[in-house]
Amino acid sequence: MSLSKQTRQSTAMLTRLSGWGRYPQYQSNIFTPISLTTCQSHLATHTMPLIAHGMGRSYGDSALAEYVINTQELDCLLDFDTHSGQLTCHAGVSLAALLAVFVPKGWFLPVTPGTQFVSIGGAIASDVHGKNHHQHGCFSEYIVSLELLLGDGSRLRCSRSEHPELFHATCGGMGLTGLIINATLQLTAIHSAYINQITYKAANLEEVLALFAEHHAATYSVAWIDCLANNEALGRSLLMLGEHAPEGELHTRHRSKLSIPMEMPKQLLNHYSIRAFNTFYYQRIRQQQSTQCIHYEPFFYPLDGILHWNRLYGRNGFIQYQFVIPQAAGMEGLRTILKRIARSGRGSFLAVLKAFGKANANLLSFPIEGYTLALDFKLAPGLLELLHELDAMVLDFGGRLYLAKDARMHETTFKRSYPQWERFQAVREQYGAIGHFASLQSQRLGLN
């Protein structure tokens, strides 16, 4: 289970914990500090390696360990400059809470992932990206500074000018350099809570990549792909472009949400049901081009409207597999990988394609200039073998996997595709993080 309100407390509690994909699950001792002082005291006296855990939306084991600090009670807004849009807050503040306060005031997140149920600390540690990476880069591009608790319990502020090596290791560093406690970030001004959306229907992979190139200047772009389509229809897609509406109401939505009350039977998701869904989803758009004005929530966070949607994949959970390959290898690489997935019959409701802009200076940040594809796979016999096959293809095309989604990558795959891992380890050693901060993922990837 993921952390819930009921598990929050200031004493350690043994709980079975998982990421959003519900694989793997692990017995963790969870400490939930109610203040920075108690958090600092705990870190100064704790002798075993631990990892921060925010809202539990990383998919795999990057926020799992024998000892975990839950940061959800560290959720104060500390300062806001109404002229510049710079906000300082605790790392446990969620994007949803931040939007609820600042959208009515005409401010928005400059970069947001596909869910608003992510903490600021988690967004920094994963250096999340959004539908505008090709234009605006990762979340860290808008972090002015941040403050860490180091392994000895001391506090240290870092930025691009103060301890820059620690800043670039922490942004995208999966919580392995220290505990992020505060951050100052730059918000972006908006005049409406609505998005002007244009949807293009692409008959295959060639068409959708051509549309990405043609509309490179669009602020937001994302494509849903039918990953079971084959032959001439391989990669058929719906490409959505978005721009903030120039005027309109500034409000969040307070509509009731659907909820998945229990794990669905494993027979529910199979080759036939996914193929039927994908065909319906693609065919529901009749026109080659359509426009509409929609609220920002369904545009940026379509799955947030279904609470506990991860239960759709049944008791064993699922793996979200997200990779990026360089632009030069885009067509051949995506075609090769999509063919293999279609041949396997392991379809995905969620298959999302985005274009990335240039990489940043962070040592373990995921994006490189090219194309990224994310797919959900129900955990079932034979899946891990297929994903190992896909790993080899991704590496051959010069790509890599997203650490925030990872639950099973081999150490050799990681070290080959993240060439700055040794610099990352050197920074961790310099600031005393090795031996103090570790996760199941870091142990699996050889970051000890």
- The DSSP line for 294-353 is EEHHHHH-GGGGEETGGGGG-TT-EEEEEEEEEGGGHHHHHHHHHHHHHHHT---S-EEE
In the prediction, which pLDDT does 6 show?
Answer: 44
CB 314 within 8 A of CB 267: no
How is residue 282 written in tokens?
């693609």
Judge contact between 121 and 52, C-beta under 8 A: yes
The pTM of the full predicted model, rounded to 2 decimals, is 0.94
Residue located via tokens 């699996």:
444
For residues 95 and 324, give the distance between their C-alpha atoms in angstroms, rounded to a whole number. Answer: 25
Helix ranges, 144-263 (H): 164-170, 205-214
Q: For position 273, what pLDDT does the model report?
A: 77
Per DSSP bridges, beta strands 25-31 and 67-70 are parallel
What per-residue confidence (pLDDT) applies to 422? 98
pLDDT of residue 144: 98
What is the chain's pLDDT, residue by residue, as a tens digit (448 residues)?
Answer: 444 444 454 567 889 999 999 999 999 999 999 999 999 999 889 889 999 999 999 999 999 999 999 999 999 999 999 999 999 999 999 999 999 999 999 999 999 999 999 999 999 999 999 999 999 999 999 999 999 999 999 999 999 999 999 999 999 999 999 999 999 999 999 999 999 999 999 999 999 999 999 999 999 999 999 988 889 999 999 999 999 999 999 998 866 567 666 666 666 677 777 777 788 788 888 889 999 999 999 999 988 888 888 888 888 899 999 999 999 999 999 999 999 998 988 877 789 999 999 999 999 999 999 999 999 999 999 999 999 999 999 999 999 999 999 999 999 999 999 999 999 999 999 999 999 999 999 999 999 8
Beta-sheet strands, E only, within 245-305: 258-259, 289-295
Quick one: which of 21, 5, 43, 3 has its CA closest to 311?
Answer: 21
| Cα–Cα dist 28/360, whole Å | 34
Residue with token string 């200047």: 217
Q: Give me the pLDDT at residue 3, please.
A: 45
Q: What is the pLDDT of residue 347?
A: 74
Return the residue matching tokens 């310099």.
430
pLDDT of 257 reads 66
Q: How many whole angstroms separate alpha carbon 412 and alpha carbon 215?
A: 37
pLDDT at res. 170 = 98
pLDDT of amino acid 276: 79
Radius of gyration of the chain (CA): 21
Which uninterrupted H or E stretch holds 222? strand 220-225
Helix segments in 86-153, DSSP class H: 95-102, 120-125, 133-136
Q: What is the pLDDT of residue 228?
A: 85
For residue 446, is it left (φ>0), alpha (ψ between -120 and 50) or beta?
A: left
Burial 353-375 (b: 16+ CB within 10 A, else e): bbbbbeebebbbbbbbebbbbbb
Helix (H), strand (E) at residue 2: none
Give me 382's structure tokens: 């034979």
Predicted local confidence at residue 260, as pLDDT: 67
